[in-house]
Amino acid sequence: MKKSSTWYLVLWNQYLRGTRNQGSRTTYLLHSQFFILHSSFSILYSSFFIPPTVTVEQNYMDIIFDTAQIQDTLPHRYPFLLVDRIIELDPGKRVVGLKNVTINEPFFQGHFPGLPVMPGVLIIEAMAQTGGMLMLGSVNDPQAKILLFTGIDEAKFRRPVVPGDTLRIEMTLLRFKGKVCKLQGRVFVEDKLAAEAEITSVLVDRSTLRKQSPVSAKETETPA
């Protein structure tokens, strides 16, 4: 702005000098007054009518996978889908998910009436489902695979989880050999550790699991 105004002034003065050399002092004075008025108006306009640049900080949490997208990978459905969002994902290394715990959770009807506390086994399940997003996301056809528990170690529960809490579920891959994986899980509520565990699972084909089901096709036939 200052640079362009300086060049404008130089060019204008050259023009006025030519006019003055022609002997028209009145024209020179009029042009000078016009330039002063024009400059003053430009300064006032810039001060009052051009809004300042404002930097707005984005205060929201990025979502990598929402509930609908999670259901494209995991086979779980309501009321047993226990992860709402995936907010961080480092393929082959780490995943972070969120679970919003509400009073409408069906398990609160019996655990416990008048004193709702989320069962620890369901916190472990929430860890497993979050870890499942990490492991199933690494295969070509996640809809054809399923992750099954084979072991739970070092499980500890630090504080009760109650309605209104938001679980931040952090899962880190410790080992993945063949079809067997081991993940370390930590669950936080308001930056305080609520639970932790090491989970071992095996990745299998869903078709294989169906073949091993004790329910035969004959038992599932609809009576005539």
CB 187 within 8 A of CB 169: yes
Asked about 76 being catalytic, the answer comes back as no
**From 31, 38, 76, 111, active-site residue:** 111
Pair of tokens at residue 99:
């679970």
Pair of tokens at residue 45:
């306009």
Q: For the chain, count helices (H), then strands (E).
A: 5, 6
Q: How far apart are the first and last CA of the chain?
A: 88
Q: How far apart are CA 107 and CA 119, in angstroms?
A: 8
* Active-site annotation, residues: 111
